[in-house]
Amino acid sequence: MELSIVIVSFNVCNYLRQTLLSLQRAAMPDAHEITVVDNASSDGSAQMVSTEFPDVRLIISGANEGFAAACNRGIMASSGDFILILNPDTTVGTDALTLALDFMRSHPDAGAAGARMVDGTGRFLPESKRGFPSPMTSFFRFSRLYRLFPRSPLFNAYYLGHLPDDATCRADILTGAFMMIRKEALEKAGLFDTSFFMYGEDIDLSWRIIRAGYYNYYLPEVQITHFKGRSAVSDEERSLRYFYGSMTIFARKHLKRSWHLPVAACVTVICFAARSSLRVRRLIKI
- pLDDT for 252 equals 80
Note whether 106 and 210 are same-domain residues.
yes
Angle at 278 between CA 272 and CA 284, to 5 degrees: 135
Note whether 224 and 272 are same-domain residues.
no
Instruction: Give yes or no for a contact between 202 and 115, defined as CB atoms under 8 angstroms apart.
Output: no
Report the chain's terminal Cα–Cα distance, integer Å.
53
In terms of DSSP bridges, do strands 215-226 and 169-170 run parallel, antiparallel, or are they unpaired?
A: antiparallel
Tens digit of each residue's pLDDT, the chain (286 residues): 899 999 999 999 999 999 999 999 999 988 999 999 999 999 999 999 999 999 999 999 989 999 999 999 999 999 999 999 999 999 999 999 999 999 999 999 999 999 999 999 999 999 999 999 888 898 889 889 999 999 999 999 999 999 999 999 999 999 999 999 999 999 999 999 998 888 889 999 999 999 999 999 999 999 999 997 655 445 566 766 767 667 777 778 877 777 677 666 776 666 656 656 655 455 455 4
Instruction: Give yes or no for a contact between 202 and 106, defined as CB atoms under 8 angstroms apart.
Output: no
Note whether 126 and 263 are same-domain residues.
no
Domain total for the chain?
2
Note whether 156 and 65 are same-domain residues.
yes
- pLDDT for 280 equals 46
Task: Report CA 175 to chain centroid distance, whole Å.
Answer: 3
- pLDDT for 29 equals 87
CA dist., res. 103 & res. 100, Å (int): 5
At 199, the amino acid letter reads Y
Note whether 261 and 197 are same-domain residues.
no
Note whether 143 and 270 are same-domain residues.
no
- Find the domain containing 270 and state its range: 235-285
Q: What is the mean pLDDT of the chain?
A: 89
Note whether 151 and 192 are same-domain residues.
yes
pTM: 0.88
Note whether 179 and 268 are same-domain residues.
no
Note whether 140 and 271 are same-domain residues.
no
Instruction: Give yes or no for a contact between 180 and 101, defined as CB atoms under 8 angstroms apart.
Output: yes
Task: Say which CATH number the domain at 182 has.
Answer: 3.90.550.10
Note whether 176 and 216 are same-domain residues.
yes
CA dist., res. 131 & res. 145, Å (int): 16
Rg (CA), the chain: 18
